[in-house]
Each structure stands twice: as structure tokens, then as C-alpha cells.
Amino acid sequence: MRRIYIVEDDPKIRDILADFLQKYDYQVAVVNDFDQIQEEFLDFQPQLVLLDINLPRFDGFYWCRKIRTVSNCPIIFISARDSGMDQVMAIENGADDYITKPFELEVILAKIKSLMRRVYGEYRSDKQVNLIDVNGLQLNTSTFILAFGDKQCLLTKKECLLAQALLKHAEHIVSREFLLEQLWDDQDFVDDNTLSVNMTRLRKKLTDLGIKNALTTIRGVGYKLEKVWK
């Protein structure tokens, strides 16, 4: 079941969207705390976000940029602001589409289905190119989705970079220095603690997929991904 996160401060519109999408078998979460949108996003791990522009404290452009630091999942803006410049800003800040209010629910559904197919389904022309498969443990480096069997989870950008490095060097020790180089970002400070925190999160997500004790810490050297699931 695909997960959709709705970030809308008008409770009437929010409820209409949620009720409508649930009828089409989408799992829906709506924003609870407008100061914690990125945290709620990471907790729910949606496959798509419906995002308004006019929100309390920070606008939708700000939250779109924040989400883009951790995920490439599709984002559709839904806003009463219908100027061309708003639409340009939405795209430049990382959005995939823009719908103006008032809207037709069927149009929103069609756009959601189209984006879902393009990003996660059969319409991806580069699906195999961006897929790393090690004995059934699959990482899609475009969507940040890690999957094993019938389970999958959404990784953050940093978790995806680490998973990619470890899967490409499975059963070999990967040094901390190499992993820190993979995490290097001009916008975020990266240190040993950043690496350790993200490794802990990646280890938990592997466990959630049913792969336990696969990620080994080689003290003072680095990490090793053991193929315990083979």
C-alpha cells in the first residue's frame, strides 16, 4: 500500500483529500505539527507528499527543500497561489508537479498515479540502471528505497549513500574515511558522529526488513556488510 503524506493547514481540505485517497487504498498521514514536518516525514516514510505553500511559520517552499535533503520521493504542491512565478519556485525548490485550488479530486488522483508509476513502477526507463541487487537485497538509488522480499523501507539521503557503498563492497571492510567521503555535503557538517548515527539507523532498517546482524562494526577501521541473508 502506497503511503501519502498531506501537509495542508486547512482542515476541511486536508480531510477531503485524506478520505478520498483512502478510498483508493492509499495509506494517508496528515501533518500534526507544522514545526516538525521533516521529522514526521521521516517517521512515516511516504512515497509521495501533497504540500501546500501557505503554512504556519515556514512556507511550503522551505519544507520542500528540507524534504529534498533526505528524499527524492515525489512532491506535488497544491495551492491557491496560481501565479507562474509560484509554480517556477515550486519546481526550483524540488517539486514534481503543481496543482492550483480549487481542484478536482480526480485530477489529483490521476497525477498521483502517474508520478507513482513513473518513479516506482513500470514506466521507469532507468529502473535497472539505478538498482543495486545483492542476493535479493535491493537498493534503488533514485528513490532511496531499500527492499528485501516483500518488505521495503525509505532511506534518507545519507543512509542511501552508506547503503550503496556497503552493498557495492559487500563482505569487504569499508573504511570510515571512505564512508565519510561519501557523506560529504557542503551544506551539512559531517563528522564521525554523523556517520555513527546514520549507521545505527541503517542497521535498524535492515533489521526491520528481516536482515539481522548483517552490519558489523570493525572497531577503529570501519564497517562490513555480511551476506547473512544469502
Average pLDDT, integer, range 23-50: 93
Average pLDDT, integer, range 93-106: 92
Tell me, yes or no, whether 230 lies in a domain. Answer: no
- Expressed as residue numbers, the domain containing 31 is 3-120
User: 54-88 as b/e, with b when 16 or more CB fall inside 10 Å?
Assistant: ebeeebbbebbebbeebbbbbbbbbbebeeeebbe
Whether pLDDT at 53 is above 60: yes
Same domain, 91 and 194: no
Whether pLDDT at 126 is above 70: no
Alpha carbons 7 and 29: distance in angstroms, whole number:
9
Alpha carbons 1 and 100: distance in angstroms, whole number:
27
Alpha carbons 32 and 208: distance in angstroms, whole number:
25
Same domain, 107 and 37: yes
Same domain, 31 and 59: yes
Domain CATH number, residue 30 = 3.40.50.2300
Tell me, yes or no, whether 27 lies in a domain. Answer: yes
Give me the residues paired with residue 5 across strands.
Answer: 29, 49
pLDDT of res. 122 = 53
Question: Considering the chain, what percentage of its residues have pLDDT values greater than 70?
Answer: 93
In sequence order, the 6+-apart residues with CB closer than 8 A to the CB of 205 are: 146, 153, 155, 159
In sequence order, the 6+-apart residues with CB closer than 8 A to the CB of 2 are: 26, 27, 47, 48, 116, 120
Final residue in a domain of this structure, among 59, 93, 120 = 120
pLDDT of res. 125 = 47
Final residue in a domain of this structure, among 120, 147, 171 = 120
Alpha carbons 111 and 118: distance in angstroms, whole number:
11
Same domain, 88 and 161: no
The span from the first CA to the last CA of the chain, in angstroms, equals 27
Note the pTM of the prediction, 2 decimals: 0.63
Question: Considering the chain, what percentage of its residues have pLDDT values greater than 90?
Answer: 63
Domain CATH number, residue 198 = 1.10.10.10
Tell me, yes or no, whether 125 lies in a domain. Answer: no
Same domain, 58 and 107: yes
Final residue in a domain of this structure, among 120, 139, 162 = 120
Given pLDDT bands bounded at 50, 70 and 90, which one contains residue 80?
A: very high
